[in-house]
Amino acid sequence: MPKKREKKKRQPNKRILILCEGEKTEPYYFQGLKSDKYTRNKLSALRIEISDTKKNTAKELVIEAKQFKKNAEREKNPYDNIWVVFDKDGYSKHPQAFDQANSNDIRIAFSSISFEFWFLLHFQYTTKVFKKADDVINFLKNNKFMPDYEKNNNNYSILKDKTDLAIANAKKLRINVHDIDDGIKTNDKKLQQNYSKVNKVYNLNPYTDVDILVNQLLKL
């Protein structure tokens, strides 16, 4: 009598938490990425949980991420990856935030001076220094890249066709301006350690590594 075939155990979906500083721009972008009809199938192997927060410093955001991690482990349903997304615009305590994130295996997607700089890289490569978020937004509008830009739009749907260009531009910026040759395939925790040897990420302007998070989501 032939042996019954053993059913392969289904691998559980990877559970990823993305904790966003902003109430609109960042969570709306990642919600757009998650729900887009062209990425929905690609992301079906992931359980992506996107949370905005009222915390207004990078340090507080990382502390909240630590609490999410602790709660998930206590419930025996841990996250495979935890990301916090924030920018430099007007905030302080970045050294403490990066130190705590690194020591708790929490990954950071950081932009200087604002998350909108990541949007700008979808249209052109630039090393232009911006002093505040409004300057980036005005640049996007005045150059007709995103003339109708609003924080509460589904900006991913506007930008998605240019994602590959933005990823290439962000990496090029880190190599050409900051001499940080990370490589998309490099483990992200090691990336953060590598950055600290070259320069503190929060001291760089312009800068973004949001592309690493986006690229990871689309390739997992």
Among 49, 50, 28, 58, smallest CA distance to 151 is for: 28
CB 7 within 8 A of CB 186: no
Give the pLDDT score at 219: 85
| Separation between Cα atoms, residue 103 and residue 97, nearest integer Å | 10
Give the pLDDT score at 43: 84
Instruction: Kindly state the helix (H) or strand (E) to which residue 167 belongs, with its residue range.
Output: helix 163-176
pTM: 0.86
- pLDDT tens for the chain, 220 residues: list them: 555 555 555 456 889 999 998 778 999 999 999 999 888 877 887 899 998 777 768 899 999 999 999 999 999 999 999 999 999 986 778 889 999 999 999 999 999 999 999 999 999 999 999 999 999 999 999 999 999 999 989 999 999 999 999 999 999 999 988 877 655 444 445 545 544 445 688 889 999 999 999 999 998 6
Phi first, then psi, for residue 64 (nearest 5°) are: -65, -40
Task: Read off the DSSP letter of residue 131.
Answer: S
| Separation between Cα atoms, residue 213 and residue 54, nearest integer Å | 22
Give the pLDDT score at 176: 87
Annotated domain spans of the chain: 14-219
Give the pLDDT score at 25: 93
Among 119, 123, 208, smallest CA distance to 172 is for: 208
Among 203, 199, 209, smallest CA distance to 171 is for: 209
Give the pLDDT score at 82: 96
Identify the sign of the CA torsion 159, 161, 165, 168.
Answer: positive
| Separation between Cα atoms, residue 170 and residue 2, nearest integer Å | 57
Helix (H, G, I), strand (E, B) or coil at 7: coil
Among 145, 152, 139, smallest CA distance to 26 is for: 152
* Tokens matching residue 220: 């997992």
Residues 6+ apart with CB under 8 A from 67: none
Convert 23-48 to b/e letters by CB count within 10 Å (16 or more is b): eebbbbbbbbbbeeeebeeebeebeb
Give the pLDDT score at 32: 95
